[in-house]
Structure 1
Amino acid sequence: MYNIENWKHVFKLDPAKDIDDKVLDQLCESGTDAIIVGGTDDVTLDGVLFLLSKIRRHTVPVIMEISNIESVTPGFDYYFVPMVLNSQSKRWMMDIQHDAVVEYGDIINWDEMLAEGYCIMNEQSKVFQHADCKLPSKKEAIAYARMAEHLFHFPFFYLEYSGTYGDSEMVQSISQELKQTKFIYGGGIETKEQAAEMSEYADIIVVGNVIYDNPKEALKTVKATK
């Protein structure tokens, strides 16, 4: 398997969105550490398989971030399982994950399955509303990070601003709390300068929406993290 310990940058592709083959090839050959396949709306098995088949022409590690059971398929290097810590519903912390284990528990390779403690920070985002989240204060967000590391021993804590650029002071404060759990930041990174800023604090940054809006700028974010 791959050495996730050294990862700094990943691109996130939405299987419900169209992407030019040339752009996809450039992303996969850019030097990014991995490609995540995942989204909130309209994630289907057909869409996931179509995108996976194109990424697999390259050697870059590919991860499925599971959003629904119906779209799960073999063929990925890792499967990231979001557990939404600031959801007001137990469903997004435990129930849908439990459903998946009921369905696939006999065939799961647990070495490929990695939990992400998610904290979603953008009230206007679809994922915030979809997962019935409550916006945490800075103190509460830090507490979620501490829980992710010390209580749940999650491999990842993901601070997700989902489409908007986050508070760098918040990101810096959380980075100081995490020693064993890897800190992932995602949200609103559109320039190499923003990528460099968040990379100072987060172990891994996720670059997503700008891929579809300005792929040239998206590609520049890779070198900014290295």
Structure 2
Amino acid sequence: MIDYRSWRHAFKLDPDKTIDDDALEAICESGTDAIIVGGTLGITFDNTLDLMARIRRYAVPTVLEVSNLQAVVPGFDSYLIPLVLNAGDPDWIFAPHVAGLTAYGSYIHWEEIFTEGYLVLNPESSVAKLTKARPVAGPDEAKAYGQTATKLLNLSMVYVEYSGTYGDPEVVRAIRKGAEGAHVFYGGGVKTVEQAKEMAAIADTVVVGNVIYEDLDAALATVGAVKG
């Protein structure tokens, strides 16, 4: 079983995006604490399996963030199940989980499953549009979402998702305060050492994704910025 509470830095790789072998090796051997495989659009069983097989040549812990039931691939160290706290479409709160358990419940090793209280904060992102995510008015409401995750739902993991844009540190700090006792992941728009350090001072784990495909050196520099 993974020890996600020890993670300070993680890279997120999208099966629908292209990464060559040299870049993948650099990412996996960078000193990051984990690789999260996940995305919103274009995720299939085949491209997820292919990416997992390539990552498995390295010793880094690798988890699948499940966003598509047809792309659930065995062989990951663990599986992250998003529960979109601010989904405007109620079907994105529990319906996918019920469908998944109907299909795969008898095969699940529950010690490999972790539920994320997922808060989507970039209204222009694909995941926001897909889930019809409700906007968060400001720090007070953000804190309340954190409390909802931990005090009402008893979740041990909260993922703050800005998905492609850099987030508001005050909002992230409010979520962290509300989610007292939970492990807080931050993901979204981290492209520089300064941004990585800023979010590392607030969140437990900083997740770096899009910049991998835009500027590999900048992505790699975030590892030392977070863990240094």
Where has structure 1 moved over 4 Å in runs of 4 or more?
Answer: none
Structure 1, residues 121-160: CA drift from partner, whole Å, max 9, x if none? 1111111001111101122221111011111111211111
1:18-37 equivalences under 5 Å are 18-37=18-37
1:177-217: CA deviations, max 9, x gaps? 33321111110000111001000000011100000000100
Listed as ranges, the matches of 1:67-216 within 5 Å are: 67-138=67-138, 139-216=140-217
SS state at 1:165 partner: coil
SS state at 1:10 partner: strand
Number of equivalences: 226
Query: What amino acid does structure 2 have at the position aligned with 1:101?
Result: L
RMSD: 0.9
CA distance in 1, matches of 2:208, 2:62: 14
Classify the secondary structure of the residue corresponding to 1:105: helix
The CA distance in 1 between the partners of 2:48 and 2:2, in whole Å, is 22
For 2:101 and 2:208, how far apart are their aligned partners in 1?
29
Q: TM-score, normalised by structure 1?
A: 0.98
Opposite residue 170 of structure 1, the aligned amino acid is V
Mapped to 2, the partners of 1:3 and 1:43 lie a distance apart of 26
Structure 1 stretch 149-158 or stretch 95-104: which is displaced more? 149-158
The one-letter amino acid of 1:187's match is G
Corresponding residue for 1:3? 3
Does 174-183 or 148-157 show the bigger shift? 174-183
Gaps of 5+ in 1: none
* Structure 2 gaps, min length 5: none
For residues 65-106 of structure 1, give each alpha carbon's deviation from its aligned partner in whole angstroms, at most 9, with x where no partner exists: 001110001100010001111111221110001100010010
Deviation at 1:2, TM superposition (A): 3.0
Kindly provide the amino acid, as one letter, of the partner of residue 124 in structure 2: Q
